[in-house]
Structure 1
Amino acid sequence: MSVSKKDVEYVAELARLSFSEEQKEGFMEDLNSILGYVDKLSELDTDNVDIIVNPYYIENKFREDEVEESMDLKDVIKNAPKNLEEYIVVPKIID
Structure 2
Amino acid sequence: MTVGTPVTPEDLFAPEPEADPCDSLDDLLISMLIDRTLRARGQHEARAEAGLPVRKMAWEYAMVKRYTSRLGPEGAEIARAMLALAHSRSDLPPDA
> TM-score under structure 1 normalisation?
0.31
Structure with the larger helix share: 2
For the pair shown, the structure with the greater C-alpha radius of gyration is 1
Structure with the larger strand share: 1
> TM-score under structure 2 normalisation?
0.31
